């Protein structure tokens, strides 16, 4: 095996948008040179936003 990949998901749940909190998470990821995919979903049944950061480590 040449490479081994592990997936890591960071999930942020909030009842309102929190751009400052998202920026904090993104700053940490960038400082450590971790590339990520970010998606945002409104969960109607929970009345929450889910911000999902997916990365390989």
Q: Which tens digits make up the pLDDT trace of 4-44?
A: 778 999 999 999 999 999 999 999 999 999 999 999 999 99
Confidence of residue 54 (pLDDT cuts 50, 70, 90): very high
d(CA 8, CA 55): 5
In terms of Cα–Cα distance, which of 2, 1, 46, 10 is closest to 29? 10
Task: Decide which of 55 and 2 is more confident.
Answer: 55
């Amino acid at each position: 095996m040449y490479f081994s990949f592990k997936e890591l998901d960071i999930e942020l749940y909030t009842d309102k948008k929190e751009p400052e909190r998202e920026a904090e998470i993104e700053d940490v990821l960038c400082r450590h040179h971790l590339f990520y995919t970010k998606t945002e979903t409104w969960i109607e049944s929970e009345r929450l936003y889910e911000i999902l950061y997916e990365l390989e480590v």
